[in-house]
Structure 1
Amino acid sequence: MTSTTARPNVSVGGYLARRLEQLGLEHLFGLPGDFNLALLDEMLATTNLNWVGSGNELNAGYAADGYARLRRGPAAFVTTFGVGELSAVNALAGSFAEDVPVVHIVGLPSTTVINHGTLVHHSLADGDFGHFVRMAAEVTATAVVVRAHNAATAIDQALLTAVGSSKPVYLGIPADVAVAPISATPLSRPLRVLRSDPAAAEDFRDALTEFLGGAAEVTVLAGPRLYRRQLEQRIRAIAAQNGVRIATQSASKALLDESHPANLGVYAGAFTDNAETRRHIDEATPLVLSGVVLTDFLTGSFTHGFDPEHAVDLQLDHARIAGNAFYGLYLEESLRILEEVLESRAPRPAPLPRRPVPAACVHEPADPRGQLTHADLWPLLQDHLAPGTLLVAEAGTSFYGALEMTLPDGCDLLGQPVWSSIGYTLPATVGAMLAEPDRETVLVIGDGSAQLTIQELGRLLALGLKPTILLINNNGYTVERAIRSPEAAYQDIVAWNWTSLPAALGAPTTPVYRVDTPAALVEVLEKVRAETDQAALVEVVLPRDDAPESLLHIARSVR
């Protein structure tokens, strides 16, 4: 007998929103546009997702990226067709380059319009509605236009791809498809992700045991992809094993507390500050690369002295041992196996002599009333940071200045050193703080970078978020000046009245400060620390051509 019980239905937009909620999302970023209004109504009417509007689509993409990084999982943002989605492509490319699983959802014209090639607004007026999907395919793991007849499958596959690859994906949803009813039955089965191939795992375990052998010392270089899989605790457990030392790349500087005795510090090839750190990595036998990215800025312009083909290389969806590949093996599983193999070594290695951790001391500027420079800024900020702080550092002087600090325990450093798109951090701070709203957050951003995305300061303050923002005013593009033609007109920017911006952007009660000496900076940081119930903007005036030494290394290598 055939059942007459009606299967529950949900709209395509509602289905997508509920899947995102099942993946742990609480916020949805983006901007409205006429082609995505029906989609937004469906998504927001059927879930508890909180809408976070941005000043422009680029900022929305950056905010979603920051949200995903701190959630250690996917994030999503919505734009409209053509003009909206193209504005967001730079953010999407950054998420791809830095392995961040962002879902870009685009409201498209109706299926009828697309099928007939109707010359509508926001299109290129040539009847081809595939231009922008093809563009998105170049900077995503998959780019799909959803149709009603297979919408649930298309959505689920795209979301699984985002989580499995830790890359962004693109979902284009025509206006009529957004409201089309489909079966809600698949929603009763949560998406199952990141299951490694058991045979590959066992083969890897055997090969790893043989490769490590009876090594008394195992050195690990830990990279930023470990963050994408929430593997910080696993690294700490590995660091606690006898005979293990761990260095990090600059993009994963705070992955292991810098006070940890097994922490060798940051490794960046020839740009490594500590000669012992460089020697340990370059001469390590055996060497384990875990979630490592070998780009120019992370390897000291490719001056790393180790050969990945002679190491263990653990990546997001595969592993290699001396060039032998194990596919279908996710980083969670390979790192777990590494810990177990280290634990089971017999005889158990004796503890290694631990790296001495420098004693904490308060920085004393040579001239507290003189001109503030980078030589004083970063040590003074280091003295100010509390354990557990999220430090967000913009590409350029801010990020490389942050690398020179010794961060207190529990801190995280959020930056974008691979893609290095200036302006990223201000909107990314919005997303990061929504992901961890109770965490003390300090954003350091340069004047040139801030001018790209300053609109998001208004949204940040309107949301009631309370970061301390250090805006470095060094009168233009300092890193570019260090590379070439420091006096060229194109290195200059328009001088803004930075301390007037919070009021102009809707938050007139936000405390603002301007400092240009070490003593003034210390006084303001102490005041900000005492006023934790509100955000603060501190304009930090520095000499035009002054820069952290680590950034000058990079500039010389580019030059």
Structure 2
Amino acid sequence: MKDLTVGRYLIESLRKIGLNDVFGIPGDYAINFFKLMEDEGINLIGTCSEQGAAFAADAYSRMNGIGALCVTYCVGGLNTVNAVAGAYAEKAPLIIISGAPGVSERNSGYLLHHMVRNLDSQFNIFKELTVASTQLTDPYTAASEIDRVIKACLAHKRPVYIELPRDMVHQKCALPLKEADIPVYKNLCATKEAIEEAVQIIKDSAKPVIIAGVEIRRYKLEDKFLELLESTGLPYATTPLGKCVIEESHPQFIGTYMGKIGLEKVRRYIEEADSVIILGALMTDTNLGSAQLDITRTIYATADCLNIKNHCYKDVDLGDFIEGLTRELKDIKRHLIDTIEVHEEDDFEVISDNSITVSRFFKRFGKFIRPDDAIVCDIGDSIFGSINLKLPENTIYLGPVFYTSMGYAVPAAIGIQIANRNLRTIAVVGDGAFQMTGHEISCCVKYGLNPIIFILNNKGYTTQRHLREGSYNDIHNWSYHLITELVGGGLGLEVNTEEDLEIALEKAQKNTDSFTIINVHTNKHDKSDTLHRLTTIFSSKLGCSQ
């Protein structure tokens, strides 16, 4: 039997929670652990940058339930900070493993390469971005620390940080004396009272409605949520971050709610309801779009809190609350509403010589999506133009709607396909975001991946342009479709007109052997209706006039 070492215990701990893929880039402080992972059969996904690895691991975690990346000390780890911050903000469970100077090196008196202020600088930074962190400096406690941190990641659905000094990788360690325990407090009395109060409000309502958020997916509550819907007949909307938590083909689905930013019919339906049940949603400006909800008519339940009108209940489990609503409301099922009144489907007829516009692109894009596709959209009109599409059954939709970091979509598409190579994965990304992380497309050639990537090319930062115009919003135009020549693979296509788009879609559909990149030229001042509403609201906050 192999000796139990700190490195081996960490690898086995990853495997126990379903992780056999690790994203990252080696360095001398991490290379011993990289070698051990390779020897132990871990599938290592090397990306072009550490930020790309973190974005890919984030998307992988949203697909798989947890993800992992491994980097070297400071010059690697600090490159992941932005992406890890996004994972924390949007509740993506992610394990960050970083190499570090050896324990035996720490008192040498020398400044060690990659150091910043002191040897703990990176560790202290990651404390702000994670729900648990550890430095594995003691082989006697290392296994217990690994267990504690990983359990925190699974419990809270947020990133954790493990710092592994390079001379600890092969240090023998002991199994934990006892299993790590993450206390879960459930107040049964508070749960009972909250369910009773919520049920009475819903029963007294003539027009109740549900808003579903991302925590329904993060905590694997889809089945419980679906049972609530089908037992009660209540109509529901999702937030942008919670889009596709269950199938949008469901007859009770009314659309994506974004407050003033979203579709007027959906906004009016939600805000005119006499009770609004919000389940698992993050209350953020971009996620709920400056929502105008009356707190006296609102039931708001998440994994962290439960508020009913002005009452606050603590330690109420979100899943238990949903189950309780289902149990108490199933005997008063309401008639299904006609959701067609709220959500209208548009037909699309090609006008061959027309220059492609953002709105026309997304109308056609909606028809291109098939059941079981995975869609990942970068921030800007990539998200705002697609957010109101009613997607077919079993579609997966990802996008950084709350944290809104540019550069997510291309590495995320890689993470999605590493998690499930059978998924047809489609990414939509702006040209500005592509210039930040688009070089990760090289990984598609390296690992035989075949996503379809649309670049909305309007020569600049569209959202910022419509907040305050200036030359700082212009970027240098690339021939994005020619990147295939640089990376040695893929199919590159260019689109200027609606006819060009039809030809490109047909070719992309047939190309299953490699990635397809489609350079879609649009006017630099063009934008979706959703982005127009968002920039109008944000401009007023900035004191700008559009």
Same fold judged by TM-score > 0.5? yes
Q: In the TM superposition, what whole-angstrom CA distance separates every residue of 1:98-140 from its partner, at most 9, and x where no partner exists?
A: 111111111110112234553111013x5x2111111111111
Contact 1:163 1:193 in 2 (8 A): no
Change (3 A) 1:186 1:498: farther
Tell me which amino acid in the other structure corresponds to 2:323. Answer: R
Which residue of the partner structure matches residue 291 of structure 1?
280
Matches within 5 A, 1:387-406: 387-406=371-390
Structure 2: any 5+ residue segments left out of the alignment? 540-546
TM-aligned CA deviation for residue 193 of structure 1:
7.3
Tell me which amino acid in the other structure corresponds to 2:487. Answer: L
Query: More deviation in 93-102 or 369-378?
Result: 369-378
Report the Cα distance in structure 1 between the residues aligned to 2:6 and 2:313, rounded to whole angstroms: 37
Contact 1:264 1:355 in 2 (8 A): yes
Percent sequence identity over aligned pairs: 26
Contact 1:223 1:291 in 2 (8 A): yes
TM-aligned CA deviation for residue 56 of structure 1:
1.0
Q: How many pairs are equivalent? A: 536
Report the Cα distance in structure 2 between the residues aligned to 1:320 and 1:13, rounded to whole angstroms: 44
Change (3 A) 1:332 1:437: farther
Report the Cα distance in structure 1 between the residues aligned to 2:18 and 2:481, rounded to whole angstroms: 37
TM-aligned CA deviation for residue 28 of structure 1:
0.4
Tell me which amino acid in the other structure corresponds to 1:150. Answer: T
Contact 1:283 1:306 in 2 (8 A): no
Tell me which amino acid in the other structure corresponds to 1:18. Answer: E
Query: More deviation in 131-140 or 201-210?
Result: 201-210
Q: In the TM superposition, what whole-angstrom CA distance separates every residue of 1:276-323 from its partner, at most 9, and x where no partner exists?
A: x223322333321111111111222x2x22145753222124433334
Matched, 1:364 2:346: no
Contact 1:8 1:183 in 2 (8 A): no
TM-aligned CA deviation for residue 325 of structure 1:
3.9
TM-aligned CA deviation for residue 206 of structure 1:
4.4
Contact 1:57 1:88 in 2 (8 A): yes
Contact 1:319 1:334 in 2 (8 A): no
Matched, 1:483 2:467: yes
Which residue of the partner structure matches residue 4 of structure 1?
none
Contact 1:70 1:435 in 2 (8 A): yes
TM-aligned CA deviation for residue 535 of structure 1:
2.2
TM-aligned CA deviation for residue 195 of structure 1:
5.8
Q: In the TM superposition, what whole-angstrom CA distance separates every residue of 1:376-407 from its partner, at most 9, and x where no partner exists?
A: 11111111111221111110111111114222
Matches within 5 A, 1:7-22: 9-22=3-16
Which residue of the partner structure matches residue 549 of structure 1?
529
Q: 2:106 aligns with which of 107, 110, 114?
A: 114
Which residue of the partner structure matches residue 321 of structure 1?
308
Q: Secondary structure at the match of 1:68?
A: helix
Matched, 1:59 2:52: yes
Q: 2:431 aligns with which of 428, 434, 447?
A: 447
Q: 1:37 aligns with which of 9, 31, 37?
A: 31
What RMSD, in angstroms, separates the aligned Cα atoms of the two structures? 2.4
Q: Secondary structure at the match of 2:216?
A: helix
Report the Cα distance in structure 2 between the residues aligned to 1:161 and 1:323, rounded to whole angstroms: 30
TM-score using structure 2 length: 0.92
TM-aligned CA deviation for residue 272 of structure 1:
2.6
TM-aligned CA deviation for residue 198 of structure 1:
6.5
TM-score using structure 1 length: 0.90
Report the Cα distance in structure 1 between the residues aligned to 2:107 and 2:274, rounded to whole angstroms: 60
TM-aligned CA deviation for residue 210 of structure 1:
4.5
Report the Cα distance in structure 1 between the residues aligned to 2:69 and 2:344, rounded to whole angstroms: 44
Q: 2:248 aligns with which of 255, 258, 261?
A: 258
Q: In the TM superposition, what whole-angstrom CA distance separates every residue of 1:386-444 from its partner, at most 9, and x where no partner exists?
A: 12211111101111111142222221221001111111111111111111211111111
Query: More deviation in 541-550 or 115-124?
Result: 115-124
Change (3 A) 1:8 1:31: closer
Contact 2:25 2:47 in 1 (8 A): yes
Change (3 A) 1:352 1:55: same
Q: 2:321 aligns with which of 321, 334, 340?
A: 334
Structure 1: any 5+ residue segments left out of the alignment? 1-6
Report the Cα distance in structure 2 between the residues aligned to 1:349 and 1:194, rounded to whole angstroms: 37
Q: 2:153 aligns with which of 162, 182, 202?
A: 162
Matches within 5 A, 1:172-187: 172-184=163-175
Which residue of the partner structure matches residue 305 of structure 1?
292
Which residue of the partner structure matches residue 542 of structure 2?
none
Which residue of the partner structure matches residue 476 of structure 2?
494
Contact 1:388 1:411 in 2 (8 A): yes
Q: 1:236 aligns with which of 217, 221, 226?
A: 226
